[in-house]
Structure formats: C-alpha cells, structure tokens
C-alpha cells in the first residue's frame, strides 16, 4: 500500500515537472499510442485528433482500365508489399484505374493518414494563393506575415520559397522517435504556433537543404493568413471539389483550428491518386487549369541545394532510368508520378522502419517504379 502511495506521488511529481518544462504533450502522445497498443503515430489515428473537414460536392469515380485487375502482381512485388505492412497499392495508367489491391482489412473507402504527403499539398495551396494574387511573390519574406520574425536572427531573411524548398535554416531536428524533440510537440501538442514560432534559426536561409516539418508548418501559417480562411476549406474549393474527389477528407488541427500542414490529411487511396494524376496532367482537370503549370514545374524541378533530390514539397528521382517524382509520407505513404509511362502509383501502409539509403529517398519507391512499369507498361 505504501509503495502504491509513493508511486502515485512520484508519477504526480513527474507530471508536474513535465508540465512546467513544457512537455505535457507527451502524456497525450502516450494516450494515443502506447495505451492503444501502438509504438508511434499510425495511419489510423485520425479519429483521435480534432480535425477540419475537406469537403467534396460532386464525386467522380475513376474510370476502370480495360485491363483492370486482370494481372496478378508478381511474387517479388507482393512479398515487398506484405513485408512492409501495406494497406493499399493502386496503379493508374492513361488516366484510368488499372490495378487496385488492399490488405489487412483496408478497402477503397478506408481513410488513412497522409503523414508528410501533406507537405506537397501545402505547397500546392501556396501556389494557388500566388496564382490568385493573395500572396504577391514566391520570395515574399515570412516576416511580412508575422512581424515578430523580423527580430529573430536570420528570421527576417526567410522567404516562403525557402520554406517550400526546405532551405530555411530553421533549428529543427526531424526526429520522429524522440518525444522531447519538436516533431512530437507539433504532433501531440495543443499549439502549433508555440511549437514552431518558439524555434530559432541556426543559419542563413537559402544556404543549405534540410528536410524539416517545421518549415512546412511555418509556410502553412503564412498561406492561411494570406487566404484568410481555413486551409481545409481552401483545399476543398481549389482542389478537392474540382478534382471530383470521391470522399470528404479530414485534416488534423490544433486547439486553435490550425491545420498540421506538415502532415495529417486523412483520405482514401483513390483520392490520393487524383492528386498524382493532377501533376501528370500538368495541373489540368479536363480543360480547366486548376494549378498553374509554371508553379508545378517549380515543385517538380530538383534544387541544387538538395543535391537534385527535392523540389518544393516533392521528392525527385531523375537519376533512375525511369524518372519519377513523388509525394512522400512517414511509414511509406507514396503518390508516385511517372510521366514517361503516364502512370501514377499509390501505396499506403505502416512501414515503421522505412529504409532510406538512396540519398535520403526510400528504396521501396524506386523498386515499386521499376517493377510496376515492367509489369504494366
């Protein structure tokens, strides 16, 4: 009995200490992971967070290819997908659904977490705001939107383009496993502004590429201020509805209603594929140009500072014999665009230890491209 009393007192003291040090969000993280049998964020955790709805109004179903699901995936692809705990694997060819397969109880209606694929979506919203004149210049300083950054060392030099290209110089450790680092604070905390605006800059912007969730979250703050509405509603109006998405999606938010713009759009794989098809069609849906082609080219053009592997929100592999670029999310969420073969591949799942040995890019992407093209091209 005495032991239990001491244990409760100890835990209470720890809780108070964590609260005073600004780590109270860790308890929220524990309740959403370990107490639910998980070891980290997962593709099904959307229902555990407050979210804004991304509405669609006129769903358009994919046209099925004449060879829809007529070919079985070969053993090497299936083994790789099963080994990596895949939820869905879709192939779009010539604008039509060619192959669709699900595992582990998921189906065409299942909504899963985009994780960092949302970074590319945030950059798309940035591009739309530029196109509409709500943001005047791609090189607009972030401090034009938030004056307090004028007083931060290097803060006044950060532009929106720096944020989109991951060249901001932000002091942010992109570590998903350490609960005391900023990613966990942003994901499980209650204030995205506190999580990001409290960070300093460690170097001059534009000098070095460093992939950071915090940079995209700052970009999201600027875009939201520029468009003067929730980013979920802006995404709905400018992309979800024009693309004829099959389902409403959701976007996780903090207690102020600010979207987690570095992650956390919860949607189904068929609708994720429509985002890829938009890029394959150079920003057009039918005869309507819904995203400026010049901006799309900026997104999919690799930067020198990234050593030619990243553009703005998109990862790029032009050194593979079959060139491709893609949206990339934690645990192996991919929307892969293969222009040469008019193909889009979507893969979702829970690949917790996703190998990234190809200059920071997942090996699985290149494998999926090469083997899928071999099968379906």
- Residue 14: pLDDT above 60? no
Phi, then psi, of 195 in degrees rounded to 5: -65, -35
The three-class DSSP label of residue 349 is strand
Instruction: Judge whether 122 and 130 are in contact, CB under 8 Å.
Output: no
pLDDT digits (tens, 9 = 90+) for 111-146: 999 999 999 999 999 999 999 999 999 999 999 999
Predicted local distance difference test score (pLDDT) of residue 28: 72
Confidence of residue 40 (pLDDT cuts 50, 70, 90): confident
Q: What's phi and psi for 297, nearest 5 deg?
A: -60, -35
pLDDT more than 70, % of the chain: 92
Average pLDDT of the segment spanning 28-46: 76
pLDDT of res. 358: 79
15, 153, 183 from 29: Cα distances, Å? 14, 32, 11
Q: Predicted confidence band at 24 (pLDDT cuts at 50, 70, 90)?
A: low
Q: What is the pLDDT of residue 29?
A: 63
State the pLDDT at residue 231.
98
pLDDT of 82 > 60? The answer is: yes
Query: For position 285, what pLDDT does the model report?
Result: 97
Higher pLDDT residue, 182 or 367?
A: 367
**Is the pLDDT assigned to residue 12 strictly greater than 90?**
no
pLDDT at res. 18: 44
Strand intervals (E) in 51-95: 51-54, 86-93
Residue 15, pLDDT > 70, answer: no
pLDDT in tens, 171-207: 999 887 787 778 888 989 889 999 999 999 999 999 9
Q: What is the pLDDT of residue 286?
A: 94
Question: pTM of the entire structure?
Answer: 0.93
Model pLDDT for residues 255-309, shown as the tens digit of each residue: 999 999 999 999 999 999 999 999 999 999 999 999 999 999 999 999 999 999 9
* Residue from 243, 244, 237 nearest 59 by CA: 244
Query: Which of 8-22, 27-41, 308-322, 347-361 has the weakest average pLDDT?
Result: 8-22
Model pLDDT for residues 206-255, shown as the tens digit of each residue: 999 999 999 999 999 999 999 999 999 999 999 999 999 999 999 999 99
pLDDT at site 23: 64
String of DSSP letters for 222-288: HHHHHHTS-HHHHHIIIIITTTT-SS-EEEEB-TT--B-TTS-EEE-HHHHHHHHHHHHTTTEETTE
Residue 182 host element (H or E): helix 182-188
Predicted confidence (pLDDT) per residue in 96-108, tens digit: 999 999 999 999 9
* Contacts of residue 19, Cβ cutoff 8 Å, sequence gap at least 6: none
pLDDT digits (tens, 9 = 90+) for 57-80: 999 999 999 999 999 999 999 999
Average pLDDT over residues 10-37: 58
**Residue 325 structure tokens:** 């670029």
Q: Residue 27 has what pLDDT?
A: 64
Nearest of 264, 260, 296 to residue 278 by alpha carbon? 296
Whole-angstrom distance, CA of residue 181 vs CA of residue 135: 31
Confidence band of 22 (pLDDT split at 50, 70, 90)? low
């Amino acid at each position: 009995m005495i032991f239990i009393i001491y244990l409760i007192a100890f835990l209470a003291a720890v809780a108070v200490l964590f609260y005073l040090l600004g780590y109270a969000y860790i308890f929220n993280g524990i309740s959403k992971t370990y107490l639910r049998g998980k070891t980290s964020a997962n593709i099904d955790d959307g229902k555990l967070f407050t979210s804004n709805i991304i509405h669609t109004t006129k769903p358009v179903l994919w046209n099925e290819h004449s060879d829809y699901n007529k070919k079985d995936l070969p053993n090497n692809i299936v083994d790789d997908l099963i080994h990596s705990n895949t939820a869905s694997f879709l192939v779009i060819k010539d604008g039509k659904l060619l192959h669709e397969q699900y595992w582990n109880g998921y189906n065409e209606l299942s909504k899963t977490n985009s994780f960092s694929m949302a970074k590319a979506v945030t950059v798309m919203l940035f591009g739309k705001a530029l196109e509409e004149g709500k943001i005047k210049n791609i090189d607009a300083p972030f401090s034009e939107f938030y004056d307090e950054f004028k007083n931060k060392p290097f803060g006044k030099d950060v532009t929106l383009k720096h944020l989109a290209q991951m060249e901001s110089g932000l002091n942010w450790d992109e570590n998903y496993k350490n609960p005391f680092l900023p990613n966990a604070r942003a994901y499980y905390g209650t204030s995205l502004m506190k999580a990001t605006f409290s960070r300093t800059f460690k170097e001059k912007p534009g000098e070095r590429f460093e992939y950071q969730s915090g940079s995209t979250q700052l970009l999201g703050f600027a875009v939201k201020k520029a468009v003067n509405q929730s980013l979920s509603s802006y995404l709905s109006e400018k992309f979800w509805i024009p693309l004829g998405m099959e389902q409403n999606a959701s976007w996780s938010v903090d207690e102020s209603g600010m979207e987690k713009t570095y992650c956390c759009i919860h949607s189904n794989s068929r609708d994720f594929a429509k985002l890829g098809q938009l890029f394959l069609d150079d920003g057009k849906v039918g005869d309507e140009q819904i995203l400026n082609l010049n901006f799309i080219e900026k997104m999919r053009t690799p930067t020198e500072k990234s050593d030619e592997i990243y553009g703005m929100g998109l990862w790029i592999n032009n050194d593979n014999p079959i060139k491709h670029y893609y949206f990339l999310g934690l645990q192996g969420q991919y929307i892969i665009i293969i222009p040469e073969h008019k193909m889009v591949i979507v893969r979702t799942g829970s690949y917790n230890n996703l190998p990234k040995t190809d200059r920071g890019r997942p090996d699985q992407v290149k494998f999926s491209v090469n083997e899928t093209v071999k099968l379906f091209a």
